[in-house]
A = this chain, B = another copy of it.
Amino acid sequence: MVTLRKIASIVKGKLIGAPGQLIHGVSDIRNGVPETITFLLNPKHTKLVEQTAASAVIVNDSTLLAGKNGIVVESPRLAMSKVLKIFESKDHQPIGIHPTAIVYESVKIGEKVCIGAMAMIGKNAQIGKGSIIHNSVTIGENVVLGDNVEIHAQVAVFSNVKIGNNVIIDMGTIVGSSGFGYETADGIHHKIPQIGSVVIADNVEIGANCTIDRGTITDTVIGEGTKIDNLVQVAHNVKIGKGCLIAAQTGISGSVDIGDFCIFAGQVGVNNGIKIGARSIFIGQTGVTKSLLGGKIYSGMPVREVGETNQRDAAYLKIKSLEKRLKNIEEQFAK
């Protein structure tokens, strides 16, 4: 339970109304609950600011708050991310090592680390201070985890992987699986051993049930601040730049090189060995068949700039008009 005053100070906004209003949670503006705070995120819901049963609203325009408690900020969405943090209930992992966890003597563990039940920490691994390893996690030999890392339940991290600070890996994800590399001779696919590893930079977040393959000789690399959704495949030797957003079920094939601040909507596929320039944006289900300079929005399979893909889609209507015009000519000609 916090006061509206406290929330205003956390989101650095201008308080309007009763500073002492108690807030014990958050609700949706379409379904506001008394003694909670809500957010105007969608202009379609402007009328709900007055109507909602929530006790306060965060808006970006003070004139909307006539008679209502609230806080005015530039970005209600950014404010929401801060307010939700107040009310987030973390799983209460006690600091220390659960008696059922298996931790080799050679493991180096920083201060205030939590290691959950039935976790398995391999030889010579290092775990930075404040990191949380949930239950039933596998951490391979020689893995290095930075500070304030959170590894959720049932994740497996293969030997030698390096993970930076403030990284979050959600449940069920695999880091360091073997790349899909074979050399075929006489009809037999010979496995190419994958002796590289994975390097994950600071502030990276990876969703649930993803697969991040280790490199063949060098490492697979995920750049600082990149965020990855669920069920994403990152193949061996891929390099991903900084600040990328990669939505669910996207697949990045081997040795792809992705620049900074690229955005992939869901189910995008990227071919082997392609180079993607910075600030590329891909519409869902795009099939990235060739290297791209970046800085544009792309879509379609094979990939094209979105405007071109849309023109091609519209060409169907053009065929109809062409047929009409041709018929007209044919008729005139027949006279």
Contacts and interface: CB of A to CB of B under 8 A. Distances in A.
Contacts of A251: 231, 248-249, 266-267
Contacts of A181: 81
Nearest to A120: B135
A217 B140 contact: no
Interface residues of A, number: 108
A271 B283 CA distance: 10
A174 B177 contact: no
Q: What DSSP secondary structure best describes chain A's contact surface?
A: loop
A73 to B, nearest CB: 11
A218 to B, nearest CB: 5
A315 to B, nearest CB: 5
Given A156-B154, A205-B191, A316-B312, A211 B172 contact: yes
A26 interface: yes
A248 B230 contact: no
Interface in A80-132: 80-81, 84-85, 87-89, 91-92, 100, 102, 116-118, 120, 122-123
Contact of A189 (B160, B170, B225): B225
A209 B267 contact: no
A302 B11 CA distance: 39
A227 B180 CA distance: 8
A42 to B, nearest CB: 9
Contact of A81 (B174, B193, B287): B193
A172 B156 contact: yes
A294 interface: no
Contact of A302 (B84, B225, B313): B313
Contacts of A235: 229-230, 248
Interface in A253-309: 253, 261, 265-267, 269, 271, 284-285, 287, 289, 301-302
A120 B123 contact: no
A-B residue pairs, 8 tightest by C-beta: A177-B208, A84-B193, A211-B230, A180-B229, A88-B193, A81-B192, A174-B208, A233-B248
